[in-house]
Chain A
Amino acid sequence: MSRIFVAGMGAVSPAGWDVGAMRDALDRGVPLPVQSLARPGWDRTLCVRLVPTPIPRPEFLAHPRLRRSSPITHYAAAAALEATAGLRGQAEDEDLRLGIVVCLQTGCVQYTSRFYEETLKNPATASPLFFPETVYAAPTSHVAALLENVVVAHTLVGDSSAYIQGVALASEWLADWRVDACLIIGAEETNWIIPDALRHLDRKAVVAAGAGALCLCRDEMLSSGVELAAITDAHSFASGRSRSLAAKTMREQLGKCAPGEFLADGLGNNPRTDGAEQLAWSDWTGARISPKRVLGEGMMAAAAWQFISACDAVARGQFTAANVSLVGANQQALGARVIAG
């Protein structure tokens, strides 16, 4: 079995357009300011945390594939470029076979809403420019075209736990030698419809947009000092298995953690939705971070931010091991551990 290392990380979040900006915000621990979004038919507004407009505009956005693409593609592309920056300097760069797994929960909602709005008004004049960008696979395709040396790509849809499924899929491709490195990107964009929908399920959550990317490789020489140590099974909530039981089983499968380990959890600010995960980690006494509490409910992007926070803490030598806990909203619970390596 091949060892698998983290070659790089990238993040776009309400804190800014790189891992450093996200790290600074998380280190401060203060929830970022919220912005207001108008909702059709309402006087009140919805609260969200948006990605700030980058100044100056990144050069990669001039790529022909990205000119008409939606923000989710911009976030995913920026995170991907940051995560693969270390690979691009390698002598064998051109021969490196890259895989991409893009994980989404809500996906390309901006163009989907615009296209459907046009459809309802008059389907005969709905813009053909929008429709292809509504497809879940659109960001994956654009990022692959931008990076060029991509040989295989998948788009996974699910709740936030699917991000770790993406990491597992990447590790399979690496173990089978189908790719030499693999990006796992979690990305989301937002408009009014996402916070509108989420308030039915979690009134306290503040929806956030952005992306996170992790680049895995087999070559220890490319490691950023972090090694993938474990991924639990996916513990589904189906057939009477509650979220609490799934979270507990995931926690048990990760095993006893050594003193001094780190935890990146998925807690927000709602005891009802956080309950299962809180209970599963109730014995945890070590250091922990809850990125959603600072950055917002970024769904799949938030899952990636969690994973990156864990890897970043190990890469910077703050901890020798870190755990990631993802108890999804309606699918399953998965956990992972990374170690110094």
Chain B
Amino acid sequence: MLFPPSHLPSKPLRVVITGAGVITALGRGWRPNAEGFRAGRRAFRPVSLFDVSHQRVKVAAEVDLPELGSEAFPAGRLGRRQLDRLDRAGKMLLLAAQEAWKQSGWQTSEPDADQLPLVLGTTAGGMLLGEAYYRQAVQHPTRQRQQATRAVQYQPQSQGRMVLEALGCSGPVTVISNACASGANAIGHAWDLVRAGRTERVIAGGYDALGQLVFCGFDSLQALSTTVCRPFDAQRDGLALGEGAGIVNMETLDSARRRGAEILGELIGYSTAIDLHHLTQPQPQGKTTVAVMQRACAEAGVTPEGIDYINAHGTGTVLNDNSEATAISEWAGRRAATLPVSSTKAGIGHLLGGAGAVEAVVCLMALREQWMPPQTHFETPDPACKFPVVTRPQDAPLNTVLSNSFGFGGVNAALILRRWA
């Protein structure tokens, strides 16, 4: 029963990550992404997915998706008809989930495989199908072909169900849509579930695909960079959009040890709160961000001195980066002067609902392989930055890292991950 819960542990359980899946414009899977992030590679190119001839901005970080039915696109237990119903977002989600599943070594024969929770974060779900539905309904009002399928499949819970079907398991699907904090909130909520003993294992992450509506939306707000996306640079002029998915398989430390699983890292802190300042603008001093970072650290039992690197939300917009830089500087105090910070959105763009999840996977990579992801196009730090921005590829002894995520609407989230050694 979800309420009242039974068998709750007397103290919070330790939660580790044993599987991770990622797909971005840098590539599919851990290795190409780790190499790309480590080198600070940028993955932007002219948009080919829809017409951008009338937009101010014409580039984004598009993912190269493998052909359905090819060896690079494992179908799991899905049939061809089911795969055909997935849009780009669903396909990226499926690829990331399968990579995480394989890496974790989880089996469908395990007793809880029919009650395995899936917690997803997304801002748009299957919006590309929604766009297709709308276009056909308006441009060909009497044509009904595929409309019923689109009406069902554009809903993100349908995509979540499809993931569980592909993996051969079943369980509750929770979809969190806190705008661009969604992915971090999904992982944080999943952490809450495992830590509190409500489940032993959980799949969590975030995803979003590039679509015309969202691209045009950010362009209409003049939030997209017309030059180069440069988070925290004094000359920054906006964000760049990307697409992708990040999934982590999380379980109790006891479960991982019992299975003899390889542990990729430990999630030790999470906090979330809402900034009531404005629908699309953060509170300039980043007060909510400070509070969220403080609470996440308190959960993790660390101070700013114990954080070795911050993967910032760092969108590249004037307002976001100013607020976040002010918040990090205040929260870190004297530690700020030596605390390395970077935003991987400089390389793969803003993945919206996928951002927080992919960035959590980037943090895992950095912890596992002991490097910090640089922002290679960075010239002049914003005066609000009291911290060094990582601008060159470099190895670093990382033990504990923090990842920030913020969304339209004001939700702030911070995750803290620790190296497993």
Contact = CB atoms under 8 A, between A and B. Distances in A.
Interface of A: 1, 4, 39-42, 65, 100, 104-105, 112-113, 115-117, 119-120, 122-124, 126-128, 131-138, 140-142, 144-145, 148, 150-159, 162, 165, 167-169, 171-172, 175-176, 193, 196-198, 200-201, 228, 230-241, 253, 330-332, 334, 336
Contacts of B408: 132, 135, 137-138, 141
Contacts of B14: none
B177 interface: yes
Contact of A137 (B218, B220, B411): B411
Nearest to B141: A41
A333 to B, nearest CB: 10
B131 A116 contact: yes
A274 B357 CA distance: 37
B222 A128 contact: yes
A324 to B, nearest CB: 12
B279 A238 contact: no
19 contacts: A1-B5, A42-B141, A115-B217, A123-B216, A126-B216, A138-B279, A141-B274, A155-B176, A156-B174, A157-B177, A158-B174, A159-B155, A159-B157, A162-B174, A172-B192, A228-B3, A230-B4, A231-B1, A231-B2
A129 B141 CA distance: 28
A30 B204 CA distance: 44
A234 B273 CA distance: 26
**Interface-central residue, A117, A142, A152, A238, by most chain B CB under 10 Å:** A238
B8 interface: yes
From B141, B189, B218, B274, residue with most partner A Cβ within 10 Å = B274
B157 A330 contact: yes
Contacts of A176: 192, 196
A232 B172 CA distance: 11
B272 A152 contact: yes
A331 B213 contact: no
B421 interface: no
Contacts of A122: 54
Given A158-B175, A197-B147, 12 more contacts: A123-B212, A123-B219, A126-B220, A128-B222, A148-B276, A153-B409, A155-B177, A155-B178, A165-B172, A239-B168, A331-B157, A331-B158
Nearest to A131: B217
Nearest to B169: A239
A234 B2 contact: yes
B109 interface: no
B410 A141 contact: yes
A239 B165 CA distance: 5
A26 to B, nearest CB: 26
Contacts of B323: none
Nearest to B163: A238
Contacts of B160: 331
B125 interface: yes
A132 B180 CA distance: 12
B90 interface: no
B134 A233 contact: no
A154 B409 contact: no
Given A193-B137, A201-B148, A238-B161, A233 B216 contact: no
Interface in B210-235: 212-213, 216-222
Contacts of A137: 123, 177-179, 407-409, 411
Interface of B: 1-5, 8, 52, 54-56, 77, 114-115, 122-123, 125, 130-131, 133-135, 137-138, 141-142, 144, 147-148, 151-152, 155-158, 160-161, 164-165, 168-179, 185, 189, 192, 196, 198, 212-213, 216-222, 272-274, 276, 279-280, 407-411
Contacts of A105: 155
The 7 closest A-B pairs by CB, nearest first: A41-B141, A234-B172, A141-B409, A131-B217, A137-B409, A200-B148, A136-B177
A136 B125 CA distance: 11
Contacts of A239: 77, 114, 164-165, 168-170
B213 to A, nearest CB: 5
Contact of B54 (A117, A123, A165): A123
Contacts of B122: 157
Given A119-B212, A135-B179, A150 B138 contact: no
A167 B2 CA distance: 10
A197 B169 CA distance: 29
A230 B133 CA distance: 39
Contact of B152 (A120, A142, A151, A330): A330
A330 B130 CA distance: 16
B273 A151 contact: yes
A133 B158 CA distance: 24
Contacts of B221: 128, 131-132
Contact of B213 (A112, A168, A234): A112
B151 A135 contact: no
Contacts of B133: 193, 197
A127 B219 CA distance: 10
Contacts of B280: 132
